[in-house]
Amino acid sequence: MARGIEDEYYEIALNLVQECAKILKDAITGSKSINKKLGDWDLVTEYDKKIEDIIIGKLKNLYPSHKFIAEESTGQKLPELTNDPTWIIDPIDGTVNFIHGFPHTCVVIGLAIQKEMVLGIVYNPIHEQLFTARKDKGAFLNGKRIKVSEIQDISKALICIESGFMKIDHMREKTVERIQAIARVAQSIRSLGVAALTLCYVALGVVEGYYIEGPGISTWDIAAASLIITEAGGIVVDRVTGEKIDIMKPRAIGACNEKIAKEFVRIIREADEKVSLRNKQ
């Protein structure tokens, strides 16, 4: 069977992820040059830029007409997503983890065509976890097909939410309220500090739900992994509307099914309303 263009895109992206993940793995325990972006909770190293430059440089050379949305070169102002093939790249997701040598960090490449994700790769080389998905072809971990959890009751669910946003003044109260609300109903909660990889854990079936939104969170954190979740049978929704996620508005809840997602949306909404009401008094 002749190799199609999307097969080519996948093979090129896979090779690039594996090449750059080796850089991440070799550097994770060494010294790093560290700079702040939005604050001391949002950091960047020379390796973020190095990996991104390698990925974009090689893709531009192969596909000069393609577009790019990438963490270090795009910045906080996102471009419009068009119908053109658009590579969405996070060179190191979980940079704070990477800086500390905490082994939950990854390289992420996704591809959108006609504004739809068609390819997603998330690779944690420390634990050798290579998550891949192509539209309508399933989701895989190291080549083995994966699927989401079958748990329907949130009281039996392991839920992830990021606690780090408590460091940000305007998000502190809501973050505390959200964590408390989830902790009351879920079986347990976790905070791993790496959005794409945690979403992949939903796809793998070891986490039932994950909520991610906040400063420093953008399209590159959710785009590739959102395809991996949906191809594993899960769902990714907008936490405000409860509808299918718009990857350009990354306020996401990833869940194993619609029931968990709806309950999660309700809990977050009620927690936020509680904070708003308290602040009006």
55 is in an annotated binding site: no
Q: 25 with 44, same domain?
A: yes
Q: 184 with 247, same domain?
A: yes
Point out the domain boundary residue: 124, 145, 166: 145
Q: 37 with 70, same domain?
A: yes
Q: 91 with 193, same domain?
A: no
Q: How far apart are CA 262 and CA 70, in angstroms?
A: 30
Short-list 20, 18, 43, CA closest to 32: 43
Q: 15 with 127, same domain?
A: yes
Q: How far apart are CA 29 and CA 102, in angstroms?
A: 9
The total of structural domains in the chain comes to: 2
Q: How far apart are CA 226 and CA 111, in angstroms?
A: 12
Q: How far apart are CA 152 and CA 149, in angstroms?
A: 9
Q: 82 with 172, same domain?
A: no
pLDDT tens digits along 19-58: 999 999 999 998 778 776 655 545 678 899 999 999 999 9
The pLDDT of residue 118: 97
Point out the domain boundary residue: 145, 163, 198: 145
Q: With bands split at pLDDT 50, 70 and 90, how would you rate the model's confidence at 111?
A: very high
The pLDDT of residue 1: 36
The pLDDT of residue 36: 67
Are the C-beta atoms of 221 and 197 separated by less than 8 Å?
no
Residue 149: C-alpha distances to residues 160, 233, 266 (Å): 14, 9, 20
Q: With bands split at pLDDT 50, 70 and 90, how would you rate the model's confidence at 101?
A: very high
pLDDT tens digits along 47-81: 999 999 999 999 999 999 999 999 877 766 788 89
90 is in an annotated binding site: yes
Torsional sign, CA 266, 150, 116, 12 = positive
Strands (E), the chain: 34-39, 42-45, 67-70, 86-93, 106-113, 116-124, 129-134, 139-141, 144-145, 158-161, 188-190, 209-212, 235-238, 252-255
Question: Residues with catalytic annotation?
Answer: 71, 90, 92-93, 95, 221
Q: With bands split at pLDDT 50, 70 and 90, how would you rate the model's confidence at 132?
A: very high
Q: Which residue range forms the structural domain that includes residue 226?
A: 154-279
Q: 140 with 195, same domain?
A: no
Q: 10 with 141, same domain?
A: yes
To 10 degrees, the CA torsion angle through 222, 228, 231, 233? -80
Q: 83 with 197, same domain?
A: no
221 is in an annotated binding site: yes
Q: 178 with 99, same domain?
A: no
Q: How far apart are CA 265 and CA 253, in angstroms?
A: 8
Take residue 8 and report the two structure tokens written for it: 């080519």
Q: Kindly tell me the burial class for residue 143, based on how many C-beta atoms sit within 10 Å of its own C-beta (0-12, 13-18, 19 or more).
A: exposed
Q: What is the CATH number of the domain that holds 11?
A: 3.30.540.10
Count CB-CB contacts under 10 A for residue 152: 14
Average pLDDT over residues 87-108: 94
Q: Which helix (H) or strand (E) holds 177?
A: helix 169-185
Under 8 Å CB-to-CB from 125, ≥6 apart: which residues? 21, 22, 24, 25, 106, 107
Q: What is the CATH number of the domain that holds 212?
A: 3.40.190.80
To 10 degrees, the CA torsion angle through 74, 75, 80, 81? 60
48 is in an annotated binding site: no
pLDDT tens digits along 135-194: 999 999 999 999 999 999 999 999 999 888 787 788 889 999 999 999 999 999 999 999
* Mean of per-residue pLDDT scores for the chain: 91
The pLDDT of residue 167: 79
Take residue 191 and report the two structure tokens written for it: 């905070």
Point out the domain boundary residue: 103, 120, 145: 145
Q: How far apart are CA 45 and CA 38, in angstroms?
A: 14
Q: 181 with 118, same domain?
A: no
Q: 20 with 104, same domain?
A: yes
Paired sense of beta strands 158-161 and 209-212, if any: parallel
93 is in an annotated binding site: yes
